[in-house]
Amino acid sequence: MAGKVVRSSCRACHGGCGVLVRVEQNKVTSIKGDPDCPVNRGWLCIKGKRYHTITHHPERLTDPLLKGNGSWKKISWAEAYEKITDRFLQIKEQLGPESLVVGYGTGRDNESFIYRFANTFGTPNVLTAGHMCYGPRIATGITLCGNLPVVDYESGPACVIVWGANPLVSHPDEYKGLYLAQAMKGGAKIICVDPRRSTVAKQAHHWLRIRPGTDGALAWGMVNIIIDQGLFDQEFVENFVHGWEEFCQRAKQYPLSWAAGKTGLREEEIQSAAETFAATKPAGIHWGVALEQSKNCVNTISLLIYLMAMTGNLDRPGGSVFYPNPPVINASQLGAHRILPQEARKKRLGGNMFRLADRIGVINPKGVWDAILDEKPYPVKGLYLISTNPVISRANSREVKAALEKVDFLVVQDFFLTPTAREADIVLPASTWLEHDYVAELWKRHGWVVARQKAVQVGQARSDYDILNELGKRCSAAEHWWSTVKDALNYILSPSGLNWEEFCQRGYLQGERIFFKYLKEGFSTPTGKVEFYSTTMKKLGYDPLPGFFDPPESPWSPPELLAEYPFQLITGARIPFFFHTENRVPGPLRNKRPDPLVEIHPKVARKKGIAEGDWIEISSPRGTVVQKAVLTNRVPENVIAADHGWWFPEKYDDLGWDRSNVNLLTDNGYGGCDPAMGATNLRVLLCNVRKASDHS
């Protein structure tokens, strides 16, 4: 592979950007955006440009590791496969397949293979971020309108609400920040909903600086304005909405004055934004994960779908559309969900509690920790964690760590020896996206798949696909798997008539762009309409109409709690150089952000005796962490905005997992979760701050 350029697809964040990878003597020397890739059109963020420093990092895991007597030893792949297979099958025989939980983090295009492994093994328990990240939009979208609405930037929206997102930094899911930037440059009216003054907020026509956690209240306020002023699309409502009258009656419970009081906005601000959105066609809503990591997850997503629908912006060019898939085996088919027996499905942890989540096969993580620590409703004895670092990324980190320490057998598959991997019995070295082939973007709903081609090989690292394919053949019926991963790729591409080599020559496939499909087909719901009164939610035992919950911790909390913790803590703002807990190893990316930062308003800092750059303690009812102060009016006076995802590979015997990890402050109790999806409340908490007495 020396001295050549490999055309591939990046996965430094959510992925999909076409890249040109220059390779010299099995080492990547540069990564540039591919101007011929229609997904990113040559644009590439700093994570993608510098990702080869992660792939070739000297601390990369390059061999399987076995823990024994408190130390690690290298073992062969054959020995690793044998030991893992023996223990997994032992658990299955003695306790049942459900006592093994398979888990992964934010999508690395490995989801379908992971689900295929779980489903063929027979366990219903796949631990993902899907209960609070992307999954709620999928589940709610399918339930209410038959699919996930995605802003059609290609057709040029005249108005975009950027709600709980900062796509110029995060490039999430189906989107690239480039799309929004071009829409802004082209004159689209931008409505930004964000407590922080983001780059988008600074350029928006309307910046709605809401009180954290009150997005649903704002949505109700906008709904009422559109109904009361008759700004809705009457023809669409009459022909394609189920439950309009019931919905209008429910809306009266949440009038504009109530919405203003909850959100902290003036009534005129809400009215002006609602009028702009309703009057400007076409318009889309570009939503973000912040909406999902709250108790109001499904309520808020439902209301945003209804705002799209009632203004006639669903599946119209430049609105929020349903992109047809390209001609490939889709992620659900590849995941082999139909193989899992019905009796096994009934054993899914938390399935009876979070019934909407159960419909898409995701679980609330606390159910796993409870099953390990308390062995209820049954014991979980094995964990197989792939591309995830839950000690840092999951709420209530101390409980997570306690569960990983207790579980009988833990396998971790990753690039580095993370705080989670340190708890494992066996660690498997996974390849980065520069080291394997795949049909990328398969899980997204933007209508594309792109070719990801292997550029280099580092040590003995293997792709998640290779590892799962091999373990799948050993742990379940071999006919569900392939002789090689290349055979799997040809299977995925089979509906297109292309093989892997031919697909690589083309570089991408796109589904046919068809709009207003509902005029012929209706919507894929039980009534064939957008269900403002949801027959499915009613069948599942939930309120068929949306409502509103106050955040578990908020200005409406008990006075004694507010006296001790007077500030609202928000977390999770994206950092250009990291992807959640990734890229913290020393190098060009980490050097751009060497320390964890917390944003504090200057007035608060003065009262607390905090100066720029001071290490400060951030405390919640659950614990205390330290981060470095940034004084800025980007946040309101009563809001503290802290980094997430922090650990320190270069320091401390324990990798500093409990020093700046904001999930020591978060709560995973069921009472604070969304009742339908089990979404964890990560974004809106109460806290206090003070200058740290000592930090070393």
Q: Residue 141 has what pLDDT?
A: 98
Residue 391 belongs to some domain of the structure: yes
Exposed, middle or buried: residue 330 (CB in 10 Å: 0-12, 13-18, 19+)? middle
- Contacts for 625 with CB less than 8 Å, ≥ 6 apart: 617, 618, 642, 658, 659, 660, 661, 662, 664, 665
Give residue for tokens 């010299």: 24
Query: What's the number of CA atoms in the CB half-sphere (13 Å) around residue 686?
Result: 17
Confidence of residue 1 (pLDDT cuts 50, 70, 90): very low
Q: Is the pLDDT of residue 107 over 90?
A: no
Q: Rounded mean pLDDT of 414-429?
A: 98
Q: State the pairing for strand pair 623-631/530-531.
A: unpaired
Residues spanned by the domain of 534: 149-321+517-539
207 and 124 assigned to the same domain: no
188 and 301 assigned to the same domain: yes
Q: How far is CA 87 from the centre of its chain?
A: 31
| Distance in angstroms (rounded) separating the CA atoms of residues 43 and 83 | 44
331 and 456 assigned to the same domain: yes
Q: Is the pLDDT of residue 2 over 90?
A: no
> Tens digits of per-residue pLDDT, 494-525?
999 999 999 999 999 999 999 999 999 999 99
Residue 142 belongs to some domain of the structure: no
| Closest among 412, 508, 413, 443 to 133, alpha carbons compared | 443
387 and 501 assigned to the same domain: yes
Lowest mean pLDDT among 2-16, 450-464, 495-509, 677-691: 2-16
Q: What is residue 9's three-state secondary structure?
A: strand
| Distance in angstroms (rounded) separating the CA atoms of residues 618 and 564 | 12
270 and 373 assigned to the same domain: no
- Extract the tokens encoding 433: 């996206």
Confidence of residue 419 (pLDDT cuts 50, 70, 90): very high
Report the number of distinct structural domains present in the chain. 3
Question: Quick check: 61 and 427 in contact, CB under 8 A?
Answer: yes
> Tens digits of per-residue pLDDT, 210-256?
999 999 999 999 999 999 999 999 999 999 999 999 999 999 999 99
Q: How far is CA 651 from the centre of its chain?
A: 28
Q: Residue 131 has what pLDDT?
A: 96
- Contacts for 201 with CB less than 8 Å, ≥ 6 apart: 192, 194, 207, 209
Q: Report the CATH number at residue 570.
A: 2.40.40.20
Question: Quick check: 596 and 628 in contact, CB under 8 A?
Answer: yes
620 and 643 assigned to the same domain: yes
- Measured CA distances, 117 to 21, 95, 102, 239, 481 (Å): 31, 18, 9, 43, 9
Backbone angles phi, psi at 235, to 5 degrees: -65, -45
Q: Rounded mean pLDDT of 287-292?
A: 94
169 and 277 assigned to the same domain: yes
Q: What is the DSSP letter of 59?
A: T
- Contacts for 293 with CB less than 8 Å, ≥ 6 apart: 132, 133, 572, 679, 680, 681, 682, 683
Q: Residue 535 has what pLDDT?
A: 98
Q: State the pairing for strand pair 409-414/126-127.
A: unpaired
| Distance in angstroms (rounded) separating the CA atoms of residues 284 and 178 | 16
Helix then strand then coil, in percent of the chain rounded to 5, is: 35, 20, 45
Residue 535 belongs to some domain of the structure: yes
Residue 140 belongs to some domain of the structure: no
Sheet holding 508-510, edge to edge: 438-440, 448-452, 508-510
Inter-helix orientation angle 464-475/485-493, to 10°: 100
388 and 456 assigned to the same domain: yes
Q: Is the pLDDT of residue 562 over 50?
A: yes
Q: Residue 695 has what pLDDT?
A: 64
Residue 54 belongs to some domain of the structure: no
Sheet holding 189-193, edge to edge: 206-208, 189-193, 159-163, 283-287
Q: Residue 651 has what pLDDT?
A: 83
Q: Which residues are 440's β-sheet partners?
A: 450
503 and 525 assigned to the same domain: no
Q: State the pairing for strand pair 639-642/597-600.
A: antiparallel
292 and 174 assigned to the same domain: yes
249 and 118 assigned to the same domain: no
Residue 35 belongs to some domain of the structure: no
> Tens digits of per-residue pLDDT, 303-329?
999 999 999 999 999 999 999 999 999
Residue 521 belongs to some domain of the structure: yes
Question: Quick check: 306 and 690 in contact, CB under 8 A?
Answer: no
Residue 354 belongs to some domain of the structure: yes
Backbone angles phi, psi at 30, to 5 degrees: -160, 155
> Tens digits of per-residue pLDDT, 578-600?
999 999 999 999 999 999 999 99
Confidence of residue 14 (pLDDT cuts 50, 70, 90): confident
Question: Quick check: 360 and 139 in contact, CB under 8 A?
Answer: yes
Backbone conformation region of residue 292, classed left if phi is above 0, alpha if psi is from -120 to 50, else beta: alpha
Please give the share of the chain, as a percent, with pLDDT higher than 90: 96
Question: Quick check: 402 and 374 in contact, CB under 8 A?
Answer: no
| Closest among 338, 361, 331, 340 to 119, alpha carbons compared | 340
> Tens digits of per-residue pLDDT, 467-491?
999 999 999 999 999 999 999 999 9
Query: Chain-wide mean pLDDT for the chain?
Result: 96
384 and 355 assigned to the same domain: yes
Q: Residue 689 has what pLDDT?
A: 98
Q: Is the pLDDT of residue 602 over 70?
A: yes
| Distance in angstroms (rounded) separating the CA atoms of residues 372 and 405 | 10
Q: What is the DSSP letter of 97?
A: G
Q: Report the CATH number at residue 500.
A: 3.40.50.740
| Closest among 164, 185, 186, 166 to 176, alpha carbons compared | 166
Q: Which residues are 71's β-sheet partners?
A: 68
